[in-house]
């Protein structure tokens, strides 16, 4: 049956499509801008967005399984609920939703609260659903690479509680495996929550130490105060989004994002290989 992927031109979504194609799936993607859609010829391209009801209805025709990925946006919650409602009307029976770890706990952070609400709707739909809850993406570190490399400072407030950063390649592969498992199941599978984490729980000082080793020179941790972090982000993203990232960083400092004892081992079992480490990623990012 056909699997529809939303957010397909982003870092995670594009890799999910790639993984599905490699596994022989019938894949359809919903994209706003076809010029950004670089997919194999076997992938069916549908133009539209999650607030365009007509395009959603066309995209969902004949689809049994949905990968729902909503980018952080001011209307993210509306997009998610509209998409889920249209999916239900179209008879979509299986959903894999990309949420976020601690969605219900970090209630003051908008995109966490959004995903917690979407999770609730998915549970109430009664579909065969997997809720994927990734920790912070390692790949987001590309936004602060130049500060680290050029100025010798790791600037993101992480604190000392710990954060289990995860590689987007691991996220995408788990998503593809789960999509195919649910798509092929003869009946409804129970709702399952999978925490997506890396192999290490990292602290601010620990991240600075890794970068010091990777670069061969001292890198200092910039500290737990989020003011400078917000100011830096606001130079290249909307101020509301920079502020939201500040709120997220504050919760990392106060609460951390520490995985459960068996989270990493469960992912290794699903993937059949080791998880990508932060040190490996930092070496690649440093060039």
Q: How far is C-alpha 124 from the geometric centre of its chain's CA atoms?
A: 22
**Looking at beta carbons, which pairs linking 35-42 to residues 24 or more positions away fall under 8 Å?**
36/9, 37/8, 37/9, 38/9, 38/14, 39/8
Share of the chain above pLDDT 90, in %: 92
| Bridge partners, 27 (sequence order) | 3
Mean per-residue pLDDT, 36-55 = 93
- DSSP letter assigned to residue 36: G
- Name the one residue in this structure whose structure tokens are 């709120």: 247
pLDDT for 71: 87
Task: pLDDT band for 203, please (50, 70, 90 cuts).
Answer: very high
8 A C-beta contact, residue 215 and residue 282:
no
Residue 144 DSSP code: G
Asked if pLDDT for residue 287 goes beyond 90, the answer is no
| C-alpha to C-alpha distance for 230 and 227, rounded to whole angstroms | 5
Residue whose token pair is 């549970």:
123
What CATH number belongs to 2-134+167-196?
3.40.50.720
Residue 36 confidence class, pLDDT cut points 50, 70, 90 = confident
Q: Is residue 1 scored above 90 in pLDDT?
A: no
Two structure tokens written together for 53:
């009801």
pLDDT, tens digit, for every residue of 4-23?
999 999 999 999 999 999 99
DSSP-H helix ranges across 23-75: 53-60
CA distance 185 to 172: 20
Domain boundaries, the chain: 2-134+167-196
pLDDT of residue 183: 96
Looking at residue 232, its pLDDT comes to 87
Q: Are 170 and 134 in contact (CB under 8 A)?
A: no
Helix (H) or strand (E) holding 30, with range, is: strand 26-31
Q: Once rounded to an integer, what is the mean pLDDT over residues 79-97?
A: 95
pLDDT tier at 199, thresholds 50, 70, 90: very high
| Amino acid 43: pLDDT | 96
- Confidence (pLDDT) at 21: 97
Across all residues in the chain, what is the average pLDDT?
Answer: 95
Q: What is the pLDDT of residue 79?
A: 94
């Amino acid at each position: 049956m056909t699997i529809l992927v939303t957010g397909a031109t982003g870092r995670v979504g594009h890799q999910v499509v790639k993984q599905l194609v490699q596994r022989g799936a019938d894949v359809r993607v919903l994209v706003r801008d076809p010029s950004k859609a670089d997919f194999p010829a076997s992938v069916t391209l549908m133009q539209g967005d999650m607030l365009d009801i007509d395009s959603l209805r066309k995209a969902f025709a004949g689809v049994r399984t949905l990968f729902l990925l909503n980018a952080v946006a001011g209307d993210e919650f509306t997009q998610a609920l509209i998409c889920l409602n249209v999916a239900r009307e179209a008879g979509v029976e299986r959903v894999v939703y990309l949420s976020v770890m601690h969605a219900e706990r970090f209630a003051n952070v908008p995109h966490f609260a959004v995903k917690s609400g979407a999770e609730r709707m998915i549970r109430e739909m009664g579909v065969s659903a997997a809720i994927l809850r990734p920790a912070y993406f390692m790949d987001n570190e590309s936004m602060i690479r130049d500060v680290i490399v050029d100025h010798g400072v790791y600037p993101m407030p992480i604190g000392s509680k710990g954060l289990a950063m995860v590689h987007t390649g691991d996220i995408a592969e788990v998503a593809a495996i789960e999509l195919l498992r649910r798509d092929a199941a003869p009946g409804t599978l129970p709702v399952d929550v999978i925490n997506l984490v890396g192999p290490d729980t990292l602290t601010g000082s620990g991240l600075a130490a890794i970068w010091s080793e990777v670069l061969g020179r001292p890198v200092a941790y910039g500290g737990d105060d989020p003011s400078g972090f917000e100011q830096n982000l606001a130079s290249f993203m909307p101020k509301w989004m920079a502020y939201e990232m500040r709120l997220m960083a504050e919760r990392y400092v106060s609460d951390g994002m520490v995985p459960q004892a068996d989270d990493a081992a469960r992912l290794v079992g699903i993937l059949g290989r080791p998880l990508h480490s932060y040190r490996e990623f930092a070496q690649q990012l440093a060039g």
